[in-house]
């Protein structure tokens, strides 16, 4: 941790030169480093309900501490996220209104570069109020890449529900996707036919270990397609309750943009259902009804925000494209074969249709 602490001290000295070194201890309950007055920051980051914080985090007490104590130039209300397998920190400082992400290992630097590019694109746009505000970025003398954004409160954490994936599913088209529409527009969203999508992906499936199965899916998509168009843009790819902060009312902030890639927006649009089904396996028996509900919401959303009409008959095609895109993405990025995972919803959709 020594090198990353040195990098943090360099960044903070340049931006907040009056900041003095302070000691930070490791909280086993929250798995974060905490300054002496960071307890006041905990409700802003993990939610203001002590009951829910304990319910969600008590299991952490069984884990070993990542460190005992470290000294850094940070305000005493700061807390930071640290993992042994990552050479970096995510530092949250509500009082000074900033979040600092800083990494030294090449894989995370690559991801951070993607996030910085996206944050700069968001800066000054209407979508900025629903995301993070870019403040500054740079590289330290020891090679650490960093970006600083403003702090966004999470007092009403979306995790604080008895079935938070169900709540997440229920607010997907009332709160999240209307906000994401502005992001897709910001990233030059385009439309194209299913035939165009097939042309792009026939070569991609050849590199997947389940090439024969995926080729059969492409044949089925070709058979089922109508004249409906696909909306394509940069997708977040990781929309979940930890990446959307909620401060009550209409104050949602969509964060963590390091994993965004261009693809049909069904990746984000249908992922709420995947997460719900992943946690509520008994609901797989209701897949047709639930997917009908999602697709109708998707139709209305497309019409309202992009003036695009999609037939209900295109539902199967869209869900198959979602499953194929995620299957290819995870193989290309991390060599993870989703079709080997018996619990994967992508596998379920492909076998069902």
CA-CA-CA-CA torsion sign (336, 338, 341, 343): positive
237 plus 193 within the same structural domain:
yes
Domain's final residue, options 125, 149, 173: 149
- Give the chain's domain count: 2
The token pair at 109 is 């630097």
Which residue has 């193989």 as its token pair?
331
- 22: three-class secondary structure by DSSP: strand
Amino acid 17: pLDDT: 96
Nearest-Å Rg of the Cα atoms of the chain is 22
Q: What is the 8-class DSSP label of residue 130?
A: G
* 157 assigned to some structural domain: no
* 337 assigned to some structural domain: yes
Amino acid 224: pLDDT: 94
* 319 assigned to some structural domain: yes
Amino acid 84: pLDDT: 75
Domain's final residue, options 149, 177, 196: 149
Residues 6+ apart with CB under 8 A from 235: 260, 261, 262, 263, 265, 267, 268
pLDDT 10s per residue in the chain (353 long)? 899 999 999 999 999 999 999 999 999 999 999 999 999 999 999 999 999 999 999 999 999 998 999 999 999 999 999 987 779 999 999 999 999 999 999 999 999 999 999 999 999 999 999 999 999 999 999 999 999 999 999 999 999 998 899 999 999 999 999 999 999 999 999 999 999 999 999 999 999 999 999 999 999 999 999 888 999 999 999 999 999 999 999 999 999 999 889 999 999 999 999 999 999 999 999 999 999 999 999 999 999 999 999 999 999 999 999 999 999 999 999 999 999 999 999 999 999 98
Q: Judge whether 243 and 236 are in contact, CB under 8 Å.
A: yes
120 plus 174 within the same structural domain:
no
Domain's final residue, options 149, 175, 197: 149
127 plus 190 within the same structural domain:
no
Dump the DSSP string for 37-62: TGGGTHHHHH-S-HHHHHHHHGGGGG
Amino acid 326: pLDDT: 97
The token pair at 2 is 């020594």
In DSSP terms, 249 is beta-bridged to: none
Note the pTM of the prediction, 2 decimals.
0.93
Amino acid 304: pLDDT: 98
Contacts 24+ apart (CB under 8 A), 55-63: 56/159, 56/160, 57/29, 57/30, 57/31, 58/29, 60/28, 60/29, 60/30, 60/31, 61/28, 61/29, 63/28, 63/31
* 185 assigned to some structural domain: yes
Domain CATH code at residue 217: 3.90.1200
Amino acid 255: pLDDT: 97
Distance CA 73, CA 290 (A): 50
Q: What is the 3-state secondary structure (H, E, C) of 298-345?
A: HHHHHHHHHCCCCCHHHHHHHHHHHHHHHHHHHHHHHCCCHHHCCCCH
* 34 assigned to some structural domain: yes
Expressed as residue numbers, the domain containing 312 is 164-352
Determine how many CB atoms are found less than 10 A away from the CB of residue 309.
10
Determine how many CB atoms are found less than 10 A away from the CB of residue 237.
17
Amino acid 85: pLDDT: 76
* 126 assigned to some structural domain: yes
Amino acid 353: pLDDT: 87
285 plus 145 within the same structural domain:
no
* 158 assigned to some structural domain: no
Distance CA 284, CA 193 (A): 30
* 155 assigned to some structural domain: no
Distance CA 35, CA 43 (A): 15
Distance CA 235, CA 267 (A): 7
Amino acid 259: pLDDT: 83
Q: What is the 8-class DSSP label of residue 65?
A: P
Determine how many CB atoms are found less than 10 A away from the CB of residue 328.
19
104 plus 240 within the same structural domain:
no
54 plus 78 within the same structural domain:
yes
102 plus 242 within the same structural domain:
no
């Amino acid at each position: 941790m020594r090198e990353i602490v040195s990098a943090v001290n360099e960044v903070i000295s340049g931006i907040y030169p009056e900041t003095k070194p302070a000691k930070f201890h490791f909280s086993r309950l929250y798995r974060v480093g905490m300054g002496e007055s960071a307890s006041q920051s905990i409700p802003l980051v993990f939610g203001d309900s002590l009951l829910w914080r304990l319910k969600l985090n008590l299991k952490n007490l069984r884990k070993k501490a990542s460190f005992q104590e470290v000294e850094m130039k940070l305000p005493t209300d700061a807390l930071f996220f640290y993992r042994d397998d990552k050479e970096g920190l995510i530092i949250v400082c509500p009082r000074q209104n900033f979040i600092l992400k800083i990494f030294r290992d090449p894989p995370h630097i690559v991801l951070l570069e993607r996030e910085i590019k996206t944050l700069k694109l968001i800066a000054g746009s209407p979508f900025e109020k629903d995301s993070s505000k870019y403040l500054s970025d740079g590289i330290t003398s020891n090679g650490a890449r960093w970006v600083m954004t403003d702090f966004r409160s999470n007092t009403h954490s979306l995790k604080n529900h008895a079935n938070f994936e169900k709540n997440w599913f229920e607010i997907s088209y009332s709160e999240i996707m209307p906000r994401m529409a502005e992001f897709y527009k910001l990233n030059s969203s385009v439309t194209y036919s299913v035939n165009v999508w097939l042309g792009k992906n026939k070569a991609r499936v050849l590199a997947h270990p389940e090439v024969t199965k995926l080729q059969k899916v492409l044949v089925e998509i070709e058979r089922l397609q109508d004249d409906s168009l696909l909306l394509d843009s940069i997708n977040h790819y990781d929309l979940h309750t930890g990446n959307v902060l909620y401060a009550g009312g209409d104050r949602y902030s969509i964060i963590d943009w390091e994993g965004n890639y261009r693809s049909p927006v069904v990746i984000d649009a249908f992922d709420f259902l995947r997460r719900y089904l992943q946690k509520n396996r008994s609901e797989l028996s209701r897949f047709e009804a639930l997917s009908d509900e999602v697709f109708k919401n998707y139709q209305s959303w497309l019409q309202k925000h992009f003036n695009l009409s999609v037939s209900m008959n295109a539902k199967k095609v869209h869900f198959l494209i979602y499953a194929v895109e995620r299957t290819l993405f995870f193989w290309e990025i991390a060599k993870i074969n989703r079709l080997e995972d018996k619990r994967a919803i992508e596998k379920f959709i492909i076998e069902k249709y």
